[in-house]
Amino acid sequence: MMRHCFGIAFDIDGVLIRGGRALPHAAKRIKQLQEKHVPHIFLTNGGGCVEEKKSKTLSSILNLPIDPKQMILAHTPMRELVKQYADSKVLVMGAYDVLDVAHHYGFKKVISIQDLAQHNPHQYPFLDWQHKKSPFAEEPIGAIIIFHDPIHWAQDLQIAIDALVGGDPLGSGKGPQTPLFVSNDDFTFSGAYPVPRFAQGAFTRCLKLLYEQHTGKPLEITRFGKPHLVQYEFAEEVMQSQVSQPLERFYGIGDNPFSDIQGANAAGHHWTSVLVRTGVFQSDQENHDEHPGDIVVDSVDEAVEWILHEE
């Protein structure tokens, strides 16, 4: 068996799938890498579920076995935050199964925006919540963690800002800000709709604007997900764990110049960025002006062909 010294990180939305359907030749290329034992991972800024669930979904779309250990969601490296916040009350935000994700990672005192809204229905008066006591109501919020895209923005913005100012509800700017962690800075993502849709990063930009106008202080944010280095260091570790020989080179295939390409370009000279035209970047320009790919190809099919030829 050949011992490859390189690994490939595949973005999912806009590279392998789009709007829940496989893109042409995606499955064929992943199967080829499985057969050749080329180390590879799925490095997505998606999430909102546990890694096992996302692997099953991708597996059924591509009709291939996918090992959950190969799946790095935007929030996968946030497991590390448990060391700091396992016993603190954390406000977990985002759609889908984010509360399950938090429990799965080991956070013990997890609450949602809805818990807070129901605890005090006057806090967000535009929805008709019935009072229900929140779990851990007597404890302060130790951290706010956005694990996935929030969907009820108006309520979520109001209550998140209340949580950020914590003991200083009038927003004088004098009190400390509750620590905020976000999993995905993407402004847009590519789905079934012909034009990209707002992603979690768009929500965070709104939150930042409102917090700063309210308090006069900059909003401090600890960011995970692509394009941040934390994600690429984690990705390297996971690919290295698949083989015994040291990996020397990594390829990041992605459709979003601001996420996949910026991230791979900044992760070091041992990373090569491969920009495809099947998602956010669909321009007929040769390359992206601000975050150019080391190579630009039409599809994942051509991307893998090019990498295998290079190697």
Interacting residues toward Mg ion by CB under 5 A:
11, 13-14, 255-256, 279
Nearest Cα neighbor of 263 from 284, 241, 234 is 234
**15 or 295: CB nearest ligand G3P:** 15
Instruction: Report what 262 binds from Mg ion, ligand G3P, none; CB cut-off 5-8 Å by kind.
Output: none
Q: Which two tokens stand for residue 69?
A: 């250990």
Query: Residue 203 Cβ, how far from Mg ion at the closest point, in Å?
Result: 18
Q: Distance between CA atoms of 103 and 252, rounded to whole angstroms?
A: 30
**167 Cβ neighbours under 8 A, 6+ residues apart:** 140, 175
Query: Residue 201 Cβ, how far from ligand G3P at the closest point, in Å?
Result: 7
Interface with ligand G3P by CB under 6 A: which residues?
A: 11-14, 44-46, 184, 186, 189, 199, 256
Q: Which residue, chain included where needed, has tokens 């709007």?
A: 19
**201 or 279: CB nearest Mg ion:** 279
**200 Cβ neighbours under 8 A, 6+ residues apart:** 45, 74, 94, 146, 148, 149, 150, 182, 183, 184, 185, 186
**20 or 65: CB nearest ligand G3P:** 20
Query: Residue 14 Cβ, how far from Mg ion at the closest point, in Å?
Result: 4
**178 or 190: CB nearest Mg ion:** 190
Cβ 150 vs Cβ 95: under 8 Å: yes
Nearest Cα neighbor of 89 from 143, 132, 161 is 143
Query: Residue 197 Cβ, how far from ligand G3P at the closest point, in Å?
Result: 8
Residue whose C-beta lies closest to Mg ion: 14
**9 or 110: CB nearest ligand G3P:** 9
Angle separating helix axes 51-62 and 26-36, nearest 10 degrees:
110
Instruction: Report what 180 binds from ligand G3P, Mg ion, none; CB cut-off 5-8 Å by kind.
Output: none
Instruction: Report what 17 binds from Mg ion, ligand G3P, none; CB cut-off 5-8 Å by kind.
Output: none
Query: Residue 116 Cβ, how far from ligand G3P at the closest point, in Å?
Result: 25
| DSSP three-state, residue 10 | strand
Residue 247 identity: L
Residue 155 identity: Q
Instruction: Report what 185 binds from ligand G3P, Mg ion, none; CB cut-off 5-8 Å by kind.
Output: none
